[in-house]
Every structure is written in structure tokens, then in C-alpha cells.
């Protein structure tokens, strides 16, 4: 039994390994996760292909089918942006839509049968394969850093002097006498840097943590459905275990889809809120 458990434990551990290409074995930063690159590229190309296909199907009047579904999402995104973004920026709604749809599709690949894409990848010679790109911290962190770069860009573009003053004057400079301000300013700068860096970190780790936990639970459920032999599978206990496991897996699939949808919405909303803060007029 111990050997059997270790065998399955190794199997689960194997499915938590990335397909890694290393440019330099001695440097952990000189490597890429090929499975993440493949899946993000496939999802991005699928979105572009779907958009091109839908463009040729758009009709005037009451929308139907895919057009109606997409217009519902667009209306929802526009309403969310209008509620959280006080000024006009023609790029904001398309950016929010892209983030929401892309992250949701990345998150919900887990609804496919556990190990399926991994087995397909192994048949083509891949040493390991993790199908959900948002389970790889590199992707959520890259998206969060892109949002962070946009916030810095708009801060410097729209109110550069206010941004630079805010970095050294908040939160303590206004609370101390004039002679102490030069002493407090470096402390303010450190605190503001920590505050700014915390934004992309919280964005990325929230998404990564939820999706990683969901994948592990999927693998554990699939592990519980394994049977040692056909006789075990066809026994009364085996049949009950398989039916119960299927019900649990189905229930978790729906819950995980909801979590994926929720995380996509949170990431999108926080992106809009962070960028909205950069567009707020300076108060005098």
C-alpha cells in the first residue's frame, strides 16, 4: 500500500511539473515554461480568430447567437468601466474586455478531464505539461507588471510633478515640522515604493494562488478515482466510489468555473480601479 501511494503521489507530483526549456542550467532565470507559452499562444490566437469570424457575422438589428452573447459581455464590461473609471479613455473598455476574457479562458481549461492534455502532450514527446497558464506564476505576474507599468506611465504623463511629490511627501511629511521633513522623506519614499509594488504582487498572487489550488484539487479528485484493477473497479465498493467521485468532480468543476470567472472579474476590476486612480485630477 505504501508503495502504491508513493507511485500515485509521484504521478500527481509529475503533473505539477512544467515543461521547461533551460538556456542556462546554472541560472534559474534563464528558462521558459514551454507549456505556458503554447497555451497562452493558442488562447490568444483562438480569441483573434473568433473575433475575425464574428466580425463577418455582425448584423444590424436584434443580435442573435454568438453576437448576442458577446454584446452581453461587452455591455457588462462597459458598465463596469463606467462605474469605476471617472474620465474618458477610449482604450479602457477594450483593455478590460481583453483581460477578462483572456484570463477566464486560461482559468477554465481545467474543466477538461484531468491529465488529458498532459497525456496528449506526452504522446508528442513533452516531458511534462501543465495546461492552465494562470497556474504558472510567470503569467499572472507578467500581466500584473504590465498593469503596473501602465499606471506609472499615466501617472508620469498626466500629473508628473504631483506623482513625484507624492512619492516623498506621503504619508508622514505633512505631519512633522519643517526641520524634520528631510529626515522623513526617505522613509516616505520607501513606504510608497512598497505600496506601489504591492499592487502587482497582490494581483498576480491572488490569481495564481486560486488557480493553483484548483488544479491540485482536480488532480486529487482524479487520483481518488483511480482503481488498482478492473475487479476493484467493478466491485460494489468500486462502483460506489467511482459514482461518488464523479459527482464530486462535477460539482468541483462548476465551482472552479465560478472561481475562474470571479478571479477574471477581480483582476479586470482592480486594473480599471488602479488606472482610474492615475486619471483622477489633482486636488488643490
Label each residue of 135-164 as H, E or C.
HCCHHHHHHHHHHHHHHHHHHHHHCHHHHH
CB 26 within 8 A of CB 34: no
Mean pLDDT of the chain, nearest integer: 81
Residue 269 pLDDT greater than 80, yes or no: yes
Name which of 30, 18, 50 is nearest 132 in CA terms. Answer: 18
The answer to pTM > 0.75 is: yes
7 confidence band (pLDDT: 50, 70, 90): very low
Predicted confidence at residue 192, as pLDDT, reads 85
Where in the sequence numbering do the catalytic residues fall?
202, 206, 210
CB atoms within 10 A of CB 8: 13
226 confidence band (pLDDT: 50, 70, 90): low
Please write the tens of the pLDDT for every residue from 138-195.
999 999 999 999 999 998 888 888 888 888 777 776 676 777 777 778 888 888 888 8
Please write the tens of the pLDDT for every residue from 101-121.
999 999 988 777 656 777 788
The ranges assigned to domains in the chain are 2-279
Amino acid at each position: 500500500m505504501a508503495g502504491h501511494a508513493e507511485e500515485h503521489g509521484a504521478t500527481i507530483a509529475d503533473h505539477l511539473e512544467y515543461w521547461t526549456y533551460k538556456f542556462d542550467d546554472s541560472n534559474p532565470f534563464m528558462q521558459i515554461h514551454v507549456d505556458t507559452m503554447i497555451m497562452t499562444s493558442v488562447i490568444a490566437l483562438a480569441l483573434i480568430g473568433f473575433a475575425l469570424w464574428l466580425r463577418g457575422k455582425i448584423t444590424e438589428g436584434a443580435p442573435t447567437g454568438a453576437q448576442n452573447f458577446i454584446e452581453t459581455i461587452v455591455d457588462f464590461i462597459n458598465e463596469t468601466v463606467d462605474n469605476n473609471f471617472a474620465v474618458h479613455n477610449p482604450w479602457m473598455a477594450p483593455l478590460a474586455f481583453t483581460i477578462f476574457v483572456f484570463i477566464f479562458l486560461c482559468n477554465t481549461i481545467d474543466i477538461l478531464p484531468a491529465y488529458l492534455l498532459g497525456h496528449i502532450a506526452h504522446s508528442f514527446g513533452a516531458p511534462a505539461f501543465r495546461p492552465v497558464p494562470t497556474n504558472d506564476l510567470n503569467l499572472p505576474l507578467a500581466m500584473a507588471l504590465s498593469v503596473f507599468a501602465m499606471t506609472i506611465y499615466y501617472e508620469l504623463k498626466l500629473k508628473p510633478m504631483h506623482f513625484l511629490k507624492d512619492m516623498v511627501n506621503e504619508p508622514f511629511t505633512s505631519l512633522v515640522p519643517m526641520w524634520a521633513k528631510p529626515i522623513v522623506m526617505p522613509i516616505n519614499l520607501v513606504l510608497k515604493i512598497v505600496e506601489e509594488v504591492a499592487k502587482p504582487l497582490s494581483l498576480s498572487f491572488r490569481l495564481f494562488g486560486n488557480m493553483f489550488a484548483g488544479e491540485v484539487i482536480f488532480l486529487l479528485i482524479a487520483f481518488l478515482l483511480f482503481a488498482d484493477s478492473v475487479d476493484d473497479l467493478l466491485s460494489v465498493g468500486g462502483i460506489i466510489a467511482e459514482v461518488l467521485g464523479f459527482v464530486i468532480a462535477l460539482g468541483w468543476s462548476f465551482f472552479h468555473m465560478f472561481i475562474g470567472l470571479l478571479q477574471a472579474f477581480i483582476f479586470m476590476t482592480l486594473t480599471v480601479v488602479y488606472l482610474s486612480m492615475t486619471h483622477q485630477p489633482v486636488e488643490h
